[in-house]
Amino acid sequence: MKRLAVLLCLAATPARASVLDLYGFNPRGTAMGNAQAAAADDYTATFYNPAAMTQRKQVNVGAGFVLTSPRLHVDRDHPTPAQRGIAAELPPDFSGVNLGALFPLGGKFDHRVAVGLAMYLPTLNLLRGEGVDSRVPQFYRYQNLPDKYVLLASLAFEIGPWLSLGAGVQTLAGLDGGVELDLEVANRRVRERAVQVNVFPTAAPVAGLFSRPIPPLRLGASWRSELQLDYSLPSAIRIDDLLDLNLDIGGTVLFSPHTFNFGAAYDVAPWHLLVSAEVSYELWSRAPDPSPRFTVDIAGEIPEGLGIGEALDIGNGAPVVLNFRDVPVFKAGVEHHPGGGRFSVRAGYTWRPTPSPVPTGAFNYIDNDAHILAAGAGISFADPLEIQQQPLHVDVVYQATLLVEQQVAKSRGAADPVGDYSAGGTIHSFGISLRHDL
């Protein structure tokens, strides 16, 4: 009896290429182009910059909902019948819920220490990872990244009135398991079977600095560590003690690179305006081959007796070399309170260049340069139930991710299994959240 191991589910973490980096953590941050390393001042700082949590001296909680609809396309240029057999894989619509809380610690800490907790929870697939054949045209960063359970926990300390430090973890939750089968074909029965399920966490550090050298100016820097999920599916079926089919399937999914963020925000008090800007640097050159790896080993009395066991073994050859490069990402945003009142409007822009070369070779990992435009609004109002004295804050946002059209001309021309194509499109995102100081 051998083991048939099946990877049941996969999940991932908040990271640079995660759903939070691509689409933002909450409507305020998203509407400001995610230029939040120096501008975040509530529980969302747990993600954007943990050191900035010390700005707020009251307990802050919030919840939000995001709905995203990718409208992407891969258009083939006169494909042959054989090339039509390899269809493109396009990302589906998705939605998710985010929750967060920030706790400034009083007493002996005098509100100079803050603890933050936050999470993103996909509503359609709690845990899922995906490894698609490298020949299939697919959008590298957008395919299954939204299906990630995200958990963040951070701690911040205010050293002085002008400097704070913060650190925390981002957690990757995974789920795998195994099924053991021993088949008896003659009697059409399974002689032995067992199921095993394992849940395991993987964590990576985050850190940040926050400074307010003069009252109108805020400076922030943060780092989120590289993280990836490696999976392995060693599988085996034994049939009547005569034939063993051993499969070893593995790979790496949901990779997120090291990311360094540097931001500044400035309060223009007479205009009731906050202006923020940020540059991020992402180390994509370390990205591993995301394509599934597999080997097939056929053994047992029959193939070994015929001397053909090794001749039937199968492998998938050399790994794909991505040749990704490290890239900067530029972000900017504004927030305006007309008349200094309870209503606010926001706008943001992000330029996200692709780290990927044009896929002219055998693999088809598509990643386009992207212009990201966002606009949003917020309103504050008294608690209608009169339970809390502090006002409630409701924020909404719309974000459009415009992928620059990419033309792919294959080096092998008509002999390529997929052929030439163009790829691009727009991703529409909508979000709403409720924030409140206790």
Question: Rounded to whole angstroms, how far apart are CA atoms 20 and 13?
Answer: 9
Query: DSSP letter string over 57-121?
Result: -S-EEEEEEEEEEEEEEEEESS--HHHHTS--B-PPPEEEEEEEEEEEE-GGGTT-EEEEEEEEE
> Which pLDDT value is given to residue 3?
36
Asked if 411 and 391 count as a contact pair (C-beta separation under 8 A), the reply is: no
219, two tokens: 């400076």
Query: DSSP letter string over 224-265?
Result: E--EEEEEEEEEEEEETTTEEEEEEEEEEEEEE--EEEEEEE
Give SS3 for 8. strand
**CB neighbours of residue 199 within 10 Å:** 12
> Which pLDDT value is given to residue 2?
35
> Which pLDDT value is given to residue 241?
64
> What is the chain's alpha carbon radius of gyration, rounded to the nearest angstrom?
25
| Fold of the domain built from segment(s) 2-437 | Porin (2.40.160)
Q: What is the pLDDT of residues 181-213, one digit of tens each?
A: 454 555 555 555 555 555 566 778 999 999 999
> Which pLDDT value is given to residue 186?
55
> Which pLDDT value is given to residue 89?
85
> Which pLDDT value is given to residue 147?
63
Report the predicted TM-score, pTM, of the whole model to 2 decimal places: 0.82
267, two tokens: 């309060």
305, two tokens: 């007796």
> Which pLDDT value is given to residue 425?
96
Low-confidence stretches of the chain (pLDDT beneath 50): 1-16, 178-179, 181, 183
> Which pLDDT value is given to residue 71?
95
276, two tokens: 């923020």
Whole-number Cα distances in Å, 436 to 250, 279, 417: 45, 29, 55
Angle (CA) 165 168 172, round 5°: 160
Q: What are phi and psi of 27, to 5 degrees?
A: -60, -35
Asked if 266 and 217 count as a contact pair (C-beta separation under 8 A), the reply is: yes
> Which pLDDT value is given to residue 363?
86
Q: Across-strand partners of 83?
A: none
Question: Rounded to whole angstroms, how far apart are CA atoms 167 and 153?
Answer: 9
Question: What is the number of helices (H) and of strands (E) in the chain?
Answer: 5, 21
> Which pLDDT value is given to residue 14?
32
Asked if 328 and 277 count as a contact pair (C-beta separation under 8 A), the reply is: no
Give SS3 for 400. strand
Question: Rounded to whole angstroms, how far apart are CA atoms 262 and 386?
Answer: 41
Whole-number Cα distances in Å, 255 to 18, 29, 93, 132, 402: 9, 23, 21, 14, 23
Q: What is the pLDDT of residues 422-435, one digit of tens each?
A: 999 999 999 999 99
Give SS3 for 413. helix
Question: Rounded to whole angstroms, how far apart are CA atoms 423 and 434?
Answer: 37
> Which pLDDT value is given to residue 300?
65
| Residue that has been written with the tokens 């090339």 in this structure | 83
